[in-house]
Amino acid sequence: MMHLSYDQQITLIKRLLAAVNVPEEDARSLAAVVTHSDFTGTYSHGLSRLCIYLRQYMAGALVARPDFRCVKDADASLVYDCGGGSGIVAVNKVYDAVLERARKFGVAAGVARNSANIGCGGYYGHRMADDNVIGIVVSNTYPCQAPFGGADRLIGTNPIILGCPTTNPNRPIVIDVSTSGVAIGKVQAYRRENKEMPPDWANDYDGNPTTDPHKAYCVRPMGGHKGYGLAVFVDMFGGVLSDALTSPEIPFVEDMRPEETGFAVILLDIAHFINVERFKEHASLYASMLKNSRTATGVKEIFMPGEIEARLIEERKVTGNDYSDALEAELTDLARKIGAIGADGTLAELYA
Contact residues for 226 (Cβ-Cβ < 8 A; gap 6+) = none
Compute the distance between CA of residue 245 and CA of residue 263 in angstroms, rounded to an integer: 10
Confidence grade of residue 352 (pLDDT, cut at 50, 70, 90): confident
Closest by CA to 317, choosing from 24, 92, 1, 10, is 10
What's at 33, amino acid-wise? V
Residue 345 lies in a domain: yes
| Side-by-side strand order, sheet with 209-210 | 209-210, 202-203, 218-219
Same domain, 296 and 150: yes
Same domain, 23 and 112: no
pLDDT at 185 exceeding the cut of 80: no
Compute the distance between CA of residue 139 and CA of residue 207 in angstroms, rounded to an integer: 25
Same domain, 239 and 132: yes
Residue 189 lies in a domain: no
Closest by CA to 115, choosing from 28, 242, 16, is 242
- Residue 79 pairs in a beta bridge with 72, 111
Give the per-residue pLDDT at 186.
Answer: 82
Q: How many domains, the chain?
A: 2
**Mean pLDDT on 309-326:** 96
**Mean pLDDT on 220-247:** 95
Residue 47 lies in a domain: yes
Same domain, 75 and 177: yes
Contact residues for 94 (Cβ-Cβ < 8 A; gap 6+) = 78, 80, 110, 112, 263, 265
Same domain, 98 and 118: yes
Give the per-residue pLDDT at 342.
Answer: 82
Residue 211 lies in a domain: no
Give the per-residue pLDDT at 210.
Answer: 95
Host domain of residue 22: 1-59+325-352
Same domain, 14 and 158: no
Residue 192 lies in a domain: no
Residue 215 lies in a domain: no
Same domain, 351 and 239: no
Residue 198 lies in a domain: no
Residue 95 belongs to domain with CATH number: 3.30.1370.60
Confidence grade of residue 189 (pLDDT, cut at 50, 70, 90): confident
pLDDT at 44 exceeding the cut of 90: no
3-state secondary structure of 237: helix
Same domain, 8 and 144: no
Give the per-residue pLDDT at 192.
Answer: 80
pLDDT at 113 exceeding the cut of 80: yes
Confidence grade of residue 109 (pLDDT, cut at 50, 70, 90): very high
Residue 186 lies in a domain: no
Helix (H) or strand (E) segment spanning residue 348: helix 348-351
**Mean pLDDT on 19-32:** 98
Torsion angle defined by CA atoms of residues 51, 62, 6 and 191, in that order, rounded to the nearest 10 degrees: -30
Same domain, 142 and 78: yes
Going through 102-152 in order, the beta strands assigned E by DSSP cover 107-115, 133-139
pLDDT at 184 exceeding the cut of 80: no
Same domain, 34 and 44: yes
Residue 345 belongs to domain with CATH number: 1.10.1530.10
Task: Indicate the average pLDDT of the chain.
Answer: 95
% of the chain at pLDDT higher than 70:
100
Confidence grade of residue 322 (pLDDT, cut at 50, 70, 90): very high
**Mean pLDDT on 120-125:** 97
End-to-end CA distance of the chain: 16
Same domain, 49 and 83: no
Give the per-residue pLDDT at 132.
Answer: 98
Same domain, 139 and 238: yes
Question: 254-304 pLDDT, tens per residue?
Answer: 899 999 999 999 999 999 999 999 999 999 999 999 999 999 999 999 999
